[in-house]
Chains A and B, each alone.
Chain A
Amino acid sequence: MGDVSTKISIEHLTYKYPFAKNVSLEDITLSIDAGQSIGIIGRNGAGKSTLCYVLSGLIPRFFHGKITGKVTIDGEDVPTMPVEKLIRKVGLVLQNPFSQISGAKMTVYEEVAFGLENLGIEKDEMHERIDTVLRQFDLYKKKDENPFELSGGQLQRLAIASVLVLKPEILILDEPTSQLDPRGTTEVFETISQLKTLGITILIVEHKFEKLVEYVDKIALLHEGKLLGYDTAEHIFSTSEIETYGVGQPIYTALCKRMGLKKANGYYPVSFGETVALLNGLKGSGMDRRTYNG
């Protein structure tokens, strides 16, 4: 095994927004290894976005309020890290593709340049980096178009590209596909699987569990600001309480729970592939296939 190191460490994190009645995060402790992909799930108001804001430094820099506990990246304290440094470590992609566009740039190319200009990256390197990400995200043909003329999926890819051009080691995506159609969703997930191969640590908040489970190593389950589970998808979704947290589950897990079909390791399948494999296994063991073909 290669040497796996802890990338992000959160200890007893509690946070309350200004003017809020209750805390939005309560005593969260978790750690994430370098290169891992983590899914964050929980129902509305669970604190998923808030956690993303803490990790990307928007809390406490943009949202003030009361934060306690310890959050570190590569052993360095996130709330007090210099912004220039933090930006090179963490990138954040938000939900609404439109409001993430800077709005100050008239072409896709210049939009991607926005962050590089802010950081004072030299011109040659700037062009090189922009060309690379535009090609990587299949936006090169669009480089002279106005960002606001792109489709939702393209716009969200542009948002990801504009963040990745700063070469962060960690990418956080907060419901990146919730406003996209199936095609846009597929585009974004394909992008994410590319990033995994580059060794980037990924955190993704997502409600489309069938897609999510295919891409993540572990899932963090939040509920009313508390971390209720942090484990592999099959562990998280196999529990019977999962339904009480109002988050739902992958359709395949729900189906198999209903039919009482477990994998050999005692957990329910979470993905299409696992379910098919399980069913095929059953077929081999003498069950009548017609039962399952309808």
Chain B
Amino acid sequence: MKVLSLYVENDTFIHKLEPITKLLYALISIVITFLFPSIMVGAVFVAFSLLLAISAKVFKRMLLLLNVVLIVLLSMVIIQGLFYRQNVTPAFKLWGLTFYKEGLLYSLLLIVRVVNMIISFGVLILTTRPSDLVDNLVQKGLSPRFGYVLASVLQIIPQMLSTTSTITDAQRSRGLETEGNLFQRFSAFFALLGPLVLNSLVEARERAMAIEIRGFSVEGKRTFVRQIPETKADRWIKISLYVAFIVAVVWRIILWVM
């Protein structure tokens, strides 16, 4: 693993959209599902986000992402179904435990929100080269120094983790206790992390010097070797997203006032 990324290379319509467009969709769909305490609204967005995932040919990968939170979602149904504070109407009984309608509906609301969050961000992550997202943000005004941090994180971490296996092996061969009691294992933790931290800080200093020498701190106009184009489709999608967002906020305010 050279780059920390879930990007799946392909050539679909979604892949070709500007990264910022996809980011905007994720953010706005999340905000809207949280603005409205409605399972319907959430379900509509989940369905739409899924449609995007399917058309980007990343449906299977998406299931893997969802798998991560599956247990928590299930435990939510159980805990809320049993113990939600506003539980009054019994829905069904299982092994002598009473599940209530209010709690089940509440957990369902939580679930559609979280699932939409994962799928809409998933579409962005699975269909966007991470460095393109960063370049795109920098070209739209994010500080290039900050952009550097985001872009380098994705490569530096796998680099560091590949050295961890070297360090683990080296320490094992010196008789490091990785099995023993809790105290021994804590000392082992120290012995593993200490050298890694020292090494990485020394390397970080060198890297800082190396990029300084290549003009990282020169102020003034920058150019980009990869220009991320904004297509017509991007522009239309962005406009519709802004409109949807404004409509949602206004509607929400009206509901509050009334």
Known A58-B213, A99-B207, A163-B213; contact A148-B221, beta-carbon cutoff 8 A: no
A265 to chain B, nearest CB (A): 40
Of B131, B207, B215, B221, the most chain A CB neighbours within 10 A belong to B215
Map CB proximity to A onto B146-176 as digits: 1 under 8 Å, 0 otherwise: 0110011001101100000000000000000
Task: Tell whether, in the assembled complex, residue B206 and residue A105 are in contact, meaning their CB atoms are under 8 Å apart.
Answer: no
Task: Tell whether, in the assembled complex, residue A100 and residue B206 are in contact, meaning their CB atoms are under 8 Å apart.
Answer: yes
Known A116-B225, A117-B224; contact A87-B213, beta-carbon cutoff 8 A: yes
Closest residue of A by beta carbon distance from B210: A100
Task: Tell whether, in the assembled complex, residue B129 and residue A115 are in contact, meaning their CB atoms are under 8 Å apart.
Answer: no
B217 beta carbon closer than 8 Å to chain A: yes
A44 to chain B, nearest CB (A): 15
Task: Tell whether, in the assembled complex, residue B207 and residue A103 are in contact, meaning their CB atoms are under 8 Å apart.
Answer: yes
Task: Tell whether, in the assembled complex, residue B155 and residue A121 are in contact, meaning their CB atoms are under 8 Å apart.
Answer: no
In Å, the complex CA distance between A62 and B210 comes to 11
Residues of B in contact with A, size category: 35 or more
In Å, the complex CA distance between A35 and B159 comes to 38
In Å, the complex CA distance between A116 and B216 comes to 10
Task: Tell whether, in the assembled complex, residue B206 and residue A99 are in contact, meaning their CB atoms are under 8 Å apart.
Answer: yes
Q: At the interface, is chain B mostly helix, strand, loop or mixed?
A: helix
Task: Tell whether, in the assembled complex, residue B210 and residue A99 are in contact, meaning their CB atoms are under 8 Å apart.
Answer: yes
Task: Tell whether, in the assembled complex, residue A120 and residue B213 are in contact, meaning their CB atoms are under 8 Å apart.
Answer: no
B2 beta carbon closer than 8 Å to chain A: yes
Task: Tell whether, in the assembled complex, residue A83 and residue B215 are in contact, meaning their CB atoms are under 8 Å apart.
Answer: yes
Task: Tell whether, in the assembled complex, residue A61 and residue B212 are in contact, meaning their CB atoms are under 8 Å apart.
Answer: yes
A17 beta carbon closer than 8 Å to chain B: no
Task: Tell whether, in the assembled complex, residue A148 and residue B159 are in contact, meaning their CB atoms are under 8 Å apart.
Answer: yes
Task: Tell whether, in the assembled complex, residue A120 and residue B220 are in contact, meaning their CB atoms are under 8 Å apart.
Answer: yes
Known A102-B152, A113-B225; contact A146-B214, beta-carbon cutoff 8 A: no
In Å, the complex CA distance between A58 and B151 comes to 24
Closest residue of A by beta carbon distance from B207: A99
A11 beta carbon closer than 8 Å to chain B: no
Which residues of chain A have C-beta atoms less than 8 A from B208's C-beta?
Answer: 62
B42 to chain A, nearest CB (A): 36
Closest residue of A by beta carbon distance from B224: A117
B211 beta carbon closer than 8 Å to chain A: yes
Task: Tell whether, in the assembled complex, residue B213 and residue A91 are in contact, meaning their CB atoms are under 8 Å apart.
Answer: yes
A247 beta carbon closer than 8 Å to chain B: no
Which residues of chain B have C-beta atoms less than 8 A from A109's C-beta?
Answer: 225
Task: Tell whether, in the assembled complex, residue B214 and residue A118 are in contact, meaning their CB atoms are under 8 Å apart.
Answer: yes
Report 21 cross-chain contacts, Cβ distance below 8 Å, ordered by A residue.
Answer: A53-B209, A62-B208, A62-B212, A83-B217, A87-B214, A100-B207, A101-B207, A102-B207, A103-B152, A104-B152, A105-B131, A105-B151, A106-B131, A110-B226, A115-B214, A117-B225, A118-B214, A118-B216, A118-B218, A120-B221, A120-B222
Interface positions of B (Cβ within 8 A of A): 2-3, 129-131, 134, 147-148, 151-152, 155-156, 158-159, 203-204, 206-218, 220-227
Given contacts A84-B220, A87-B215, A146-B3, 8 further A-B pairs with CB under 8 A are A83-B217, A92-B213, A103-B155, A105-B131, A106-B130, A123-B224, A148-B2, A162-B214
Interface positions of A (Cβ within 8 A of B): 53, 56, 58, 61-62, 83-84, 87, 91-92, 94, 96, 98-106, 109-110, 113-123, 126-127, 130, 146, 148-149, 159, 162-163, 166
Q: Which 4 A-B pairs have the closest CB atoms?
A: A115-B214, A118-B215, A113-B225, A104-B151
